[in-house]
Amino acid sequence: MEIVKKHDSSDLVWKRIKLTSIRKANAKKRLHRV
């Protein structure tokens, strides 16, 4: 059970990191456009 919980939490963190990185990339693109 603990292993599964750890895997789920790490997966959520990874998803968050991906979302934040994508948002940062989009922000950079917007800045370059302006």
pTM score, whole prediction: 0.51
pLDDT digits (tens, 9 = 90+) for 1-34: 576 677 778 888 889 999 999 999 999 988 887 6
**How far, in Å, CA of 33 to CA of 5, rounded?**
42
Q: What is the structure's pLDDT at 3?
A: 65
Q: What is the structure's pLDDT at 26?
A: 92
Q: What is the structure's pLDDT at 1?
A: 57
Q: What is the structure's pLDDT at 10?
A: 83
Q: Residue 17 belongs to what H/E stretch? A: helix 2-33
Q: What is the structure's pLDDT at 33?
A: 75
Own/partner pairs, 7-15, CB within 8 angstroms, 24+ separation: none
